[in-house]
Amino acid sequence: MVTSPDTQRANRIPPGQSQTHKWPVLDASGTPPIDMAKWRLDLFGLIGKEVSLTWEEFLALPRTQVLADFHCVTRWSRLDNTWSGVSVATLLELAGGVKPEAKFVSALGYDFGWTTNLPLADFLAADALVAIEHDGELLTPEHGAPARLIVPQLYAWKSAKWLGGLEFLAEDRAGFWERNGYHMHGDPWKEERFGY
């Protein structure tokens, strides 16, 4: 089990946040239909080689577990989530690593081209993964099933639900919320909610 560094803080709740025990559902346009026969997780852009995993191939990869907090920019924080899935390190190994020019990642959801962007350094954190389970249960459709990105150290909007693609980029490219004023980085401890 990988324990997210944030869980070791004396105060676990970032500024301007309050703790929730429920798990709210938040997204821009609802749960998209996903045909599992056609589901793919594509890694492309500035990587060694492009990878397109089927669901069976994804399920055959080694699993990791992460214990982490989840901070939504709408001011709720859910502590001690256990995520199970495939670490980003495992995925990047399949892709032959990132090219030196790669500095940012754009994560693509199956919900009609929704994307979010983040620095490669945050994406590569030891506690970042593509999760298929939360607290011992398979993800439900509204929380991003079959697989979602989880980057615990950034606000939750960077954790793309219904993940279908990961694009590796030299320059940052604003995603859906970022184009609508949300922060390009999104560190909850620095309250990077809006703007650059």
Ligand X SMILES: Nc1nc2c(c(=O)[nH]1)N[C@H]1C(S)=C(S)[C@@H](COP(=O)(O)O)O[C@H]1N2
Task: Kindly give the pairing relationship between strand 64-71 and strand 2-3.
Answer: parallel
Question: Are 68 and 83 contacting, i.e. CB atoms less than 8 angstroms apart?
Answer: yes
Annotate each residue in 111-140 with x if it binds ligand X (CB under 6 A) or - if it does not, as one string: x--x--------------------------
How many residues bind to ligand X according to rule CB under 6 A? 18
Of the candidate residues 3, 9, 26, 52, the single one contacting Mo ion (CB under 5 A): 26
* Only segment of 1-9, 71-79, 108-116, 135-143 that touches Mo ion (CB under 5 A): 71-79
In angstroms, what is the minimal distance from the CB of 100 to ligand X? Answer: 29
Distance of alpha carbon 74 from alpha carbon 91, whole angstroms = 30
If you count DSSP H runs as helices and E runs as strands, how many of each does the chain have, helices first? 4, 12
Query: Which partner from the list Mo ion, ligand X, none does 143 bind, CB cut-off 5 to 8 Å by kind?
Result: ligand X
56 burial type by CB count under 10 A (0-12 exposed, 13-18 middle, 19+ buried): exposed
* From 58, 160, 167, 188, residue interacting with ligand X (rule: CB under 6 A): 160
